[in-house]
Structure 1
Amino acid sequence: MNPDLADLNAFVAVARARGFRQAAHKAGASASTLSAAVRRLEAALGVRLLHRTTRSVTPTEAGARLLERLAPALGEVAAALQAVDALRDGVSGTLRLNVPVSAARLVLPMILPGFLAAYPDVRVEIVVEDGFVDALAAGCDAGIRYDERLEQDMIAVPIGPRLQRFATAAAPAYLDRHGRPAHPRDLLGHACILGRFASGRLTAPWEFERDGAVVRIEPKARLTVGVGGGMDCAVDAAIAGVGVLHLFEDWLRPHLASGVLEPVLADWWQPFSGPFLYHPSRRLVPPPLRAFIDYLRAS
């Protein structure tokens, strides 16, 4: 039994995409070519790897086990080949990052232009989602998350500002009508704007800190939006006077500076450590990712 490497890659592509057409579109190949490759692999292994229907393609138990072990191994092969290419031609290839909306909005714009200028042969693809994912299984080289959401077996590299704060704000007109809170617990009597993650968890409780005292409150949501793209809706709603918003200070800074939002309890805003670039602990790091890490450390 000596399966062809191209057939193994075809199986991984189809299993990840959950379909031959979808995989063919991503791989730049034909669906018939991928189908033939998977059939050859199944014949070589003597076991069915994929359940095929007119509507879906899903791994069998054997296929799922193979995918679990094979995807990281093929990633190592690709990284090894990229490393050779890097020595021959300089750093090139594609860097795929999985990042939350906050990083896409507040961190990467300060870093990517300089990195892309320094490495003109590297392409960058950004996948934006706020839930924690296995970056390698999702087809990405690395991700960006905060330390409380990092797995212990990941290698973490600081990226972006090392200290951030959550800011609380509302429209001046709203505060004129409902009063200006003097203590975090006063927010329990206010209309608040919350986010909801895809998991269903809310962006609550809100946490405040001053002189070593920490206060956590469960605000009453007047408006709830999906974390991610919905946060722009939350900011617009706060500006329109719907209620009080609790969000990254850097996100709200332009609106605070213009006066359309007014700081609330600014002396209670709690600092927290900045985000990290994380990637699996593996021996061979793809050259574009290695270049990105080196660029971060040199900046």
Structure 2
Amino acid sequence: MTVITKEYFDYPHRKKGLDHDRFERRYLRDLPQVDWRDGSKLKLWVTVKFEQFPMDMPAKPFVAPGGMDRPYPSVWDYSTRDYGNRVGAFRLFKVLDKYNIRATAAMNSAVAARYPYLLQEILRRNWDVAASGVDMGKLHHGDLDPASEAALVAEAFGTLRKLTGQSVTGWHSPAHSQSTQTPDLVAAQGGKYIADWINDDMPYAFRTSAGELTQMPLSWDLSDHKILFTQNMPIADYEWQINAAFDALLAEAKTRGARVLSLSLSPWIIAQPSRIRALDRLLARITATEGVTAATGEELRNDWLEMQAP
């Protein structure tokens, strides 16, 4: 029988309100009523996740969402994910091009190295490339050795900067999973924004030991991964949820100030033949609406920071 000692409950940061000093408590209702710098009310931020799921996915500390849980080698699982990077991605490119949308490519660095033709297509479209770890088998979590995690962050940024020629200022941890030091390591590597905390609809300032980051509102609840894969809902339900979110955020933007509609897309999920037309319909409606413009993650960060300037 395990006995919990009194020391187990000692936590130096416990206090009223937030139990950390990463950011100031903020209520969205209290933000000043301002539009985006180009005069738009609502920004559409499309983030496309380019992921590498190794065939020998580790089971601990947990299997990343979408990760294989069958015994090695799980060809069925692996080839389904690989479909996104070889086939689905190009279907997705076509739809986004149709509406002149420049997206943020949240990439595992292994994808950039293993799929050079895919990277060429991303760069040809002048998308914003953000680091998303090394691959989906190398997760960031509290039990990870600090030196090992620092090496993973450095490898992800270093590989992507070398292969893309971009400054690569954004970070999204594989599986939205962090350790307590992940933001500090991202900032130390020159990152400027991070998209792991899903606790707001707008960007906000986030403190680290290496300077301030901007935390970006990359939605998990509206992701194709959660709705179509994890919850296994029909494509009609996905379409309904995105439309409902769009209507609500646009109404807020018109009465309370600037807002962001975040669409997180996975080529192996949304770009299946049975689903891509739903995304086409959604983007047709969203982009045709007055007061709505699209932006990359870095563009959003820059706009947000300038809007905060006195």
TM-score (norm 1): 0.26
Give the number of the structure with larger relative contact order, counting CA–CA contacts within 8 Å between residues 6 or more apart: 2
Structure number with the higher strand fraction is 1
TM-score (norm 2): 0.25
Q: Based on CA coordinates, which of the two structures has the bigger radius of gyration?
A: 1
